[in-house]
Amino acid sequence: MSENKPKQENLPRVGFYICHCGSNIASMIDVAEVQKYASGLPGVAVSRDYKYMCSDPGQEMIAKDIREHKLERLVVAACSPNLHEETFRKAAARGGLNPFYFQMVNIREHAAWVHEDKKSATEKAKDLARAAIARVRFHQALDKKRVPVDPNVLVVGGGIAGIHAALTLANAGKKVTLIEREATIGGHMAMFDKTFPTLDCAACILTPKMSAVKAHPNITLLTYSEVNKVEGYVGNYKVTVKRKPRYVKEDLCVGCMECIDACVFKEAKFPDKFNQGLGKRKPVYIDFPQATPKVVLLDPETCIELKTGKCKKSCAAACDRKAFDFNQKEEIKELQVGAIVLATGFKAFDAKRSPQYGYGRYPGVYTALEIERLVNASGPTSGEIVLRDGKHPKAVGIIHCVGSRDAKTNKWCSRVCCMYSLKLAHLIKEHSGAEVYNFYIDMRAPGKAYEEFYDKLLGEGVHFIRGRVDEVTDWAMTPDEEGKLVLRVEDTLAGFVRRIPVDMVVLSTGLEPQADAQEVRRRFNIGCGSEGFFQERHPKLAPVNTFTDGIYIAGACQAPRDIPDTVAQAGAAAAEALALIDAGFVELEPNTSHVVEEECCGCKSCVPLCPYSAITFDEVKKKAVINEVLCKGCGVCAAACPSGSIRQNLFEDDEIFSEIQGILK
Amino acid sequence: MPLEQKVKYESECDREFAQWVVGQIGGENLRHCIQCGICSAACPLSLYMDYTPRRIINLAREGFKKEVLSSFTIWLCSSCYACRVECPKEIHITDIMYLLKRRAIEEGVYPRSFPIPVLAREFGRMIFMFGRVNETLLVTDLFLRTNWFKFLGMIGLGLNLMRTGRMSFLPDTIKRRGELRKVLDALDAEEKKEKKEALS
Amino acid sequence: MKYLYFPGCSLKGTGRAYEESFLAVFKALGLEVRELEDWNCCGATAYMSVDETKSYALAGRNLAIAERSSDLDVIAPCSACYLVLNKTQKGLKENPELRRKVVNALKAAGLDYKGKVRVRHPLDVLINDVGVEKLAKFITKPLKGMKFAPYYGCQVVRPYSTFDDQYNPVTMDKLIEAVGAECVSWPLKTRCCGGSLTGTLPEVGLRLAYILIKEAKKRGAGAIVTLCPLCQFNLDGYQDKIASKYERVDIPTLYFTQILGLAMGLPESELGIKRGIISAEAVLAGR
């Protein structure tokens, strides 16, 4: 129970203000009547009405009255607290009053805007005012807590988004740890050959940034590592990282790759994941020549020594740096950071989920990523467009929207596929001279110089057929179609059903969240949308913030995105993180809950209820403990606590009951 | 060379027709069509149609009632459901074809001797009379009504069916024809009641 | 195991061989099958073109009669019947206004519809209820050396994929392999045979049937194995007309119940083998 139960004579002096809000409130509520009514209520020292309370003169009036009339409490009846609670709290503070001695009453959305009858609206406004005045007597003076912010940052994901965010933060002087799950940074962009719309070589623009990351004194690069656990709160995160063993000492290996040549496997035989399974590698390998860090690794699934212990280890023998360590173990590291940027990227749609396109059944059907590796000069065929059976295609069909814009797979548009389909059309035609057909539904070219790129492709003689292909089949109807893959489509613009025989089919697969996106987002305690992409705080006004303070998102993990926008977003996330760190501290809203230790019975009912994991149980004292920094003031624990030992600031029992009684009078 | 005037004025669009299609079972997602054309690509009959299924959807939602109901398309549909299964917007195209057929029959918009609506009608009559359908009688009835020549051409098939014992000349009937009639009559009465209420 | 059996008009007419082989096989497997009492025509595709509510009521009468034999599944071998009965159950469940009209009309005739019956396909029952392993025990004369092209048609796999994949169904493939034959892989497994269009619009319907028999033969199939009486009729009965319009193909079409029956050692006469217009004798002689 609260100590300051006011007696009639000891009522704190309340200042009551009712706003006209132009005609928003005044047209439906008789503000003069409410002002007069309030002035007669016990404890009300000042009662005024004003046209626009939120304006400068309105706020000045409050501050002045507090000083002149020695007001101890403040009530403003106006619009929603969502809009101006902060405004009036600041005004109270300027007048010298603790800002939490203020209560706001919404007589606009709750009365004026929902009534058609002036009399009832005014009566309701009076009831609400009376309730607020009764409540505010029980308010306590509260302080906004300040929590210091650790200036170090963690960036999760080493694709172009993570790389750019890390470099920006490091250049600003912050110490950054960049974590990447694969053995090298670079992400999907490292797999591309050229990028649209400029047809820059992807590796040429990416590798300098990758080198910069490696060389930067402020960046600690942890590849082949994953985040296992995240604890803490904004400004004070403790992150546990698991480093997978490469079986090669990273600080000794210089990437000369002699070991790969020396491997007991004379021929590479295992599917190469980086080359989308189109190439082969040995158990000791490096993803690609510009991998960063330039360190080889061993695959425990295929390396004879790691599986059986019975190999002559010619790789280790060939290494003059003595970098091999077959007993290397997993390493656990702990990091303390103040802010985290998640840039974990996307996963390409699995073309097997659209079985009518024959991926996996017909060898001539490829996904877009496979083609990226095929046309790449450093890919498995050195840039030659050649089919799995060694033949060169004379005709190639590129099918847009595979897996996208479809209720059966993914409803959304993956944004980049039209553009990369145009790019692949250009590259395929350039490398092979084949007839290229693009089958699209809409041509989406929304970026800078994108429409011009489409125009360029139109001029190159690529066939654009507007129609979604139903299936890829090897059923031939004419002699020309024998031995080919036939695409049956309605050319909606020409108005005919057409059958196009091709040798190679490219499926422009869409972008979707990573396979473990749900697990990851739970680990970091952020939300996700119904499609599985990480949830931004506001789609327009806060696209890189999340609902968890201190954690930012950037790039395709938030939504399908092209490289220009990804880099922009990564910079934005870095800026938001810098804003947090350079402020030096975080101010917390005091509407948090706390446990009155003597009254806690140790039943632990509250612990699992907290959606923000803010409640822990002290096993020694056998009492619940609430971390006020993590607490967001949702009130669930206070409501559930059977012993009533959890109190929430601004929502204490006497505050709530007095407000109820105030309404009922 | 006779030139045809192909412009369409807004007054020719029957918006109520479009709304009617949307309100029927199966027509719910009509407006969500993105005109991708996968339905036409999947349809094994689309190469014969005057308007492909995709065009029918577009014409229907804009209200081009005459074009839609008098098309060959709706009668060429073999109900294979390939379109419905492929449609990325889950539009029940086959069901829409059915409802357009029903409306076309109701409004009498098809050539009198066009075999498919005749088949549908005769099928219905046979069910009303016997409860079951005898294929031989149905086909005979159909051809006698629509095309004598074609009927003569079917004699080869008829002889083959007789040879293999797959033909029967007697109609198969259900025992409780009255029960079935009661069901169909109850529905007729319900429809009459609805029409009366709609008018009042 | 007991089942109700909904034959449909075709199985009593041109699809006689399907009924014969289906009943023979199920009897030999020890599965009890009882024809649905006083069943009426399901309406197939034709009735839905005339009146929607009556079409649902027609099928509803059958389902209401089936419900009287509580808990038994209804097997509907004909694809159109299978689809219509399943569609009716779904449609009545999801559309309250339609359900109200149909249930009331059925009530007026003394029929009670609750929507609880399960409508199954015989292929589903054989592969999923009985199982390939158990079937193997009954197969005494495996059809070695035979190559069959499995043809599913449309309405069993679309729009409801109740017991198999929609794009690449494999239940019948499994059955073909279970009887010891080789299953031909081909991309037209579920392409429409033309349905009723072969009769009403031959210039259109014949082409669809021709495409199927031609491709099946090209891929090396000795016979096409199907599960729908109308598909069998289209692929089997019009080969003369196809020959005069396009070219002679000459490939027999059998029901899956027929090849299973042969592999189980049942006599040809019980399976209606001689009812095929294109004779299967030459193909079957090789076993």
**Contact criterion met (CB below 8 Å) for A332 and A242:** yes
Chain-chain contact of A475 with C188 (C-beta, under 8 angstroms): yes
Q: Average pLDDT for residues B161-171, to the nearest whole number?
A: 87
Q: Is the pLDDT of residue B22 over 70?
A: yes
Q: Is the pLDDT of residue A355 over 80?
A: yes
Angle at B140 between CA B138 and CA B145, to 5 degrees: 95
Alpha helices in chain B, H assignment, sequence order: 15-23, 38-42, 53-62, 65-69, 73-76, 82-86, 93-106, 115-130, 135-146, 148-153, 155-163, 177-199
Instruction: For chain C, list the contacting chains (3+ Cβ pairs, <8 Å).
Output: A, B
Per CB-CB distance under 8 Å, the chain A contacts of C187 are 471, 473-475
C43 touches B at CB < 8 Å? yes
Per CB-CB distance under 8 Å, the chain B contacts of C47 are 120, 123-124, 127
C104 touches A at CB < 8 Å? no
DSSP state string for A501-512: EESEEEEEE-EE
Distance (Å) from the C-alpha of residue A352 to the closest C-alpha of chain C?
12
Say which residue the tokens 């009300």 belong to.
Answer: A44
Say which residue the tokens 């990804």 belong to.
Answer: A566
Q: Summarize pLDDT for A617-635 with one digit per residue, the tens.
A: 999 999 999 988 888 899 9
CATH 1.20.1050.140 fits domain C2-120? yes
pLDDT for A3: 44
pLDDT over 90 percentage in chain A: 93
What is the dihedral angle through the alpha carbons of A144, A149, A153, A155, rounded to the nearest 10 degrees? -20
Chain-chain contact of B124 with C46 (C-beta, under 8 angstroms): yes
Terminal alpha carbon distance of chain B: 52
Top-confidence residue, B80 or A5:
B80
Q: What is the CATH number of domain B12-107?
A: 1.10.1060.10
Q: How far is CA C195 from CA A53, C160, C212, in A?
A: 76, 18, 13
Say if residue A592 is exposed, middle or buried (CB neighbours under 10 Å; 0-12, 13-18, 19+).
Answer: buried
Instruction: For chain B, list the contacting chains (3+ Cβ pairs, <8 Å).
Output: A, C
Cβ neighbours of residue B6 closer than 8 Å, sequence gap 6 or more: none
Alpha helices in A25-106, H assignment, sequence order: 31-39, 56-69, 81-94
Return the closest-CA partner of residue A261 out of A245, A288, A281, A278: A281
Q: Is the pLDDT of residue B148 over 80?
A: no
The answer for A153, left when phi > 0, alpha when psi is -120 to 50, beta otherwise, is beta
Q: Average pLDDT for residues A73-102, to the nearest whole number?
A: 94
Q: What is the CATH number of domain A2-143?
A: 3.40.50
Say which residue the tokens 């409130």 belong to.
Answer: A25
Q: Is the pLDDT of residue B116 over 90?
A: no
pLDDT for C191: 95
Task: Please list the rounded mean pLDDT of every run of 10 residues in chain C (287 residues).
Answer: 92 94 95 94 91 94 91 93 95 95 95 92 94 93 94 94 91 94 95 91 92 95 96 94 93 96 94 92 80
Cis peptide leading into residue C7 (ω within 30°): no
Q: Summarize pLDDT for A590-612 with one digit per residue, the tens.
A: 999 999 999 999 999 999 999 88
Q: Is the pLDDT of residue A4 over 70?
A: no
Alpha helices in C68-201, H assignment, sequence order: 79-94, 96-108, 122-124, 132-138, 171-178, 197-200
Q: Is the pLDDT of residue B194 over 80?
A: yes
Encode A22-41: b = buried (16+ Cβ within 10 Å), e = exposed: eebbbebbbbebbbebbeeb
B45 touches C at CB < 8 Å? yes
CATH 3.60.10.10 fits domain A592-648? no
pLDDT for C278: 93
Return the closest-CA partner of residue C31 out of C60, C2, C70, C74: C2
Q: Is the pLDDT of residue B114 over 80?
A: no
DSSP state string for C220-233: T-SEEEES-HHHHH
Using DSSP, state whether A192 is helix, strand or coil: coil
Looking at CATH, the fold of the domain delimited by C132-284 is given as: Rossmann fold (3.40.50)
Closest-approach residue (CA) in chain C for B48:
C204
Per CB-CB distance under 8 Å, the chain A contacts of C212 are none
Distance (Å) from the C-alpha of residue C161 to the closest C-alpha of chain A?
14
Question: How many residues in chain C?
Answer: 287
Cβ neighbours of residue A450 closer than 8 Å, sequence gap 6 or more: A196, A197, A419
Q: Which of C165, C168, C187 sits opposite A473 (nearest CB)?
A: C187
Q: Is the pLDDT of residue A1 over 70?
A: no
> What is the rounded distance in angstroms from the CA atom of residue A292 to the CA atom of residue A301?
23
B6 touches A at CB < 8 Å? no
Structural domain boundaries of chain B? 12-107, 115-199
> What is the rounded distance in angstroms from the CA atom of residue A513 to the CA atom of residue A516?
8
Distance (Å) from the C-alpha of residue C188 to the closest C-alpha of chain A?
8
**Contact criterion met (CB below 8 Å) for B50 and A367:** no
DSSP state string for A565-600: HHHHHHHHHHHHHHHHHHH-EEEE-S--EEE-GGG-
> What is the rounded distance in angstroms from the CA atom of residue C51 to the CA atom of residue B102?
7
A481 touches C at CB < 8 Å? no
B102: which 2 tokens? 């029903």
Closest-approach residue (CA) in chain C for A472:
C187
Q: Summarize pLDDT for A462-508 with one digit per residue, the tens.
A: 999 999 999 999 999 999 999 999 999 999 999 999 999 999 999 99
Q: How many interface pairs between A and C have CB atoms less than 8 angstroms apart?
A: 12
Chain-chain contact of B164 with C274 (C-beta, under 8 angstroms): yes
Chain-chain contact of B98 with C13 (C-beta, under 8 angstroms): no
The torsion angles phi and psi of C258, rounded to 5 degrees, stand at: -70, -45
Chain-chain contact of B48 with C204 (C-beta, under 8 angstroms): yes
Indicate the helix (H) or strand (E) that contains C67: helix C52-67
Q: Which of C167, C168, C215 sits opposite A475 (nearest CB)?
A: C215
Using DSSP, state whether A270 is helix, strand or coil: strand
C215 touches A at CB < 8 Å? yes
Per CB-CB distance under 8 Å, the chain C contacts of B136 are 13
Mean pLDDT of chain A: 94
Structural domain boundaries of chain C? 2-120, 132-284
The torsion angles phi and psi of A444, rounded to 5 degrees, stand at: -100, 110
A360 touches C at CB < 8 Å? no
Indicate the helix (H) or strand (E) that contains A316: helix A314-318
Cis peptide leading into residue C159 (ω within 30°): yes
Structural domain boundaries of chain A? 2-143, 153-244+333-345+514-585, 347-512, 592-648
Using DSSP, state whether A161 is helix, strand or coil: helix
Q: How many interface pairs between B and C have CB atoms less than 8 angstroms apart?
A: 181
Give the up-direction half-sphere exposure of residue A386: CA atoms within 13 A in the CB hemisphere.
12
At A2, is the pLDDT very low, low, confident or very high (cuts 50, 70, 90)? very low
Top-confidence residue, B1 or B100:
B100
At B2, is the pLDDT very low, low, confident or very high (cuts 50, 70, 90)? confident
Q: Is the pLDDT of residue B59 over 70?
A: yes
Chain-chain contact of C200 with B116 (C-beta, under 8 angstroms): yes
Per CB-CB distance under 8 Å, the chain A contacts of C167 are 355-356
> What is the rounded distance in angstroms from the CA atom of residue B31 to the CA atom of residue B14?
15
Chain-chain contact of A497 with B52 (C-beta, under 8 angstroms): yes
Cβ neighbours of residue C156 closer than 8 Å, sequence gap 6 or more: C79, C82, C83, C121, C123, C164, C169, C227, C228
Q: Which of B35, B41, B47 sits opposite A469 (nearest CB)?
A: B41
At B112, is the pLDDT very low, low, confident or very high (cuts 50, 70, 90)? low
> What is the rounded distance in angstroms from the CA atom of residue A22 to the CA atom of residue A78?
11
DSSP state string for C254-272: EEHHHHHHHHTT--HHHHT
**Contact criterion met (CB below 8 Å) for C83 and C152:** no
Q: Which of B37, B86, B89 sits opposite A492 (nearest CB)?
A: B37
Return the closest-CA partner of residue A80 out of A72, A88, A92: A88
pTM for this entry: 0.88
HEC readout, A593-638 = EEECHHHCCCCCCCHHHCCCCCEEEECCCCEEEECCCCCCCCCHHH
A473 touches C at CB < 8 Å? yes
A543 touches B at CB < 8 Å? no
Cβ neighbours of residue C175 closer than 8 Å, sequence gap 6 or more: C123, C126, C127, C132, C135, C256, C259, C260
Q: How far is CA C103 from CA B187, C61, C92, C98, in A?
A: 10, 9, 9, 8
> What is the rounded distance in angstroms from the CA atom of residue A614 to the CA atom of residue A637?
10
The question of ipTM being above 0.95 is answered as no
Chain-chain contact of C47 with B124 (C-beta, under 8 angstroms): yes
Per CB-CB distance under 8 Å, the chain C contacts of B180 are 40, 58, 61, 109
pLDDT for A270: 95
> What is the rounded distance in angstroms from the CA atom of residue A549 to the CA atom of residue A524?
11
> What is the rounded distance in angstroms from the CA atom of residue C109 to the CA atom of residue C106?
5
Q: What is the CATH number of domain A153-244+333-345+514-585?
A: 3.50.50.60
A409 touches C at CB < 8 Å? no
Chain-chain contact of C9 with B174 (C-beta, under 8 angstroms): no
Chain-chain contact of B86 with A356 (C-beta, under 8 angstroms): yes
Top-confidence residue, A120 or C200:
A120
Chain-chain contact of A408 with B35 (C-beta, under 8 angstroms): no
Strand order in the sheet with A485-491: A472-473, A485-491, A496-502
A474 touches C at CB < 8 Å? yes
Q: Do domains A2-143 and A347-512 have the same CATH topology?
A: no
C281 touches B at CB < 8 Å? no
Chain-chain contact of B98 with C49 (C-beta, under 8 angstroms): yes
C165 touches A at CB < 8 Å? yes
Cβ neighbours of residue A444 closer than 8 Å, sequence gap 6 or more: A413, A415, A418, A419
**Contact criterion met (CB below 8 Å) for A486 and A475:** yes
CATH of A347-512, one of 3.30.360.10, 2.60.34.10, 3.50.50.60, 3.40.30.10: 3.50.50.60
What is the dihedral angle through the alpha carbons of C215, C217, C221, C222, rounded to the nearest 10 degrees? 150
Say if residue C240 is exposed, middle or buried (CB neighbours under 10 Å; 0-12, 13-18, 19+).
Answer: middle
How does DSSP classify residue A217?
T
B188 touches A at CB < 8 Å? no
